[in-house]
Amino acid sequence: MKQIIPTILEKEYPAFSHKILKSLQYGNRIQIDVIEKNFADNQTILPNQWLMSFENINCDVHLMVENPMDWIAICLENKVSLITIHLEKLKEVKNFLQELREKKIRTGIAIDLDTDIFKVKVPLLNQFDQILLMAVKAGFAHQKFNSSVLEKINYVRQNCRKKAEIIIDGGINFDSAKQCFQARADGVAVNSYLWQNYPKNLFRLQRLAKLF
């Protein structure tokens, strides 16, 4: 079944913790978006402010930061399951992969909307457990889904190793999730649409996912 991953993008701890607790009422996987102000003018609560461990949760972390390696240690202390860094900020891929593999933490690479994935070397993508394709410009919620990501899904599915999980992030609602699943994405990370009417919209997406 396709994955529906609730996304947490919050600036204040009360809303952050509230959404995590609500998400866990109906599932065991979340994605936390971490945004630094030098990446986008929308800084979220940062990993050193989480005040909780995710040892019994499948917690994906999407790092939208200038220097991802600066945040790896604190994410590991918080017992996350997967850490995704942006291709556009990829400076120490060998160190990143080695450190996470030693800790048995899954690795992800995010590719922003305006990045030409067709010029990215497939052997690089094949080193990661997850490929997160952005359907909006990374850094802000409430953006419209860009259907150009559908062609990227097909490219990754055709050229990358089958074990890599393909997740689509940004502008996800019922209709865009359906398009992503039809294009053979493995899942969607959902923020604005999900929380507009929770848990009703979650249930709608879960029923949709079962059809694929």
Q: What is the pLDDT along the chain (212 residues), one digit of tens a residue?
A: 899 999 999 999 999 999 999 999 999 999 999 999 999 999 999 999 998 889 889 999 999 999 999 999 999 999 999 999 999 998 889 999 999 999 999 999 999 999 999 999 999 999 999 999 999 999 999 999 999 999 999 999 999 977 899 999 999 999 999 999 999 999 999 999 999 999 999 999 999 999 99
Please give the residue range of the domain that contains residue 167. Answer: 3-210
To which residue do tokens 């607790």 refer?
Answer: 21
Q: Please name the residues in contact with 111: beta carbons below 8 A apart, sequence gap of 6 or more.
A: 86, 87, 117, 120, 131, 132, 133, 134, 152
- pLDDT value at residue 20: 96
Specify the CATH number for the domain of residue 99: 3.20.20.70
pLDDT for position 92: 84
Whole-structure pTM value: 0.96
Token readout for 112 is: 């922003």
pLDDT at 163: 84
Position 162 scores a pLDDT of 78
- Spell out the residues 6+ positions from residue 102 whose beta carbon is closer than 8 angstroms to its own: none
Tell me the three-class secondary structure of the chain, residue by residue: CCEEEEEECCCCHHHHHHHHHHHCCCCCEEEEEEECCCCCCCCCCCHHHCCCCCCCCEEEEEEECCCCHHHHHHHHHCCCCEEEEEHHHCCCHHHHHHHHHHCCCEEEEEECCCCCHHHCCHHHHCCCCEEEEECCCCCCCCCCCCCCHHHHHHHHHHHCCCCCEEEEECCCCHHHHHHHHHCCCCEEEECHHHHHCCCHHHHHHHHHHHCC
Q: How many domains does the chain have?
A: 1
Radius of gyration (Cα) for the chain, nearest Å? 16
- Please give the pLDDT value at position 51: 87
Distance (Å, rounded) from C-alpha 99 to C-alpha 78? Answer: 15
Per-residue pLDDT at 83: 98
- What is residue 91's predicted lDDT score, i.e. its pLDDT? 86
| CA distance linking residue 192 with residue 17, whole number of Å | 16
- 65, exposed or middle or buried, with CB in 10 Å at 0-12, 13-18, 19+? buried
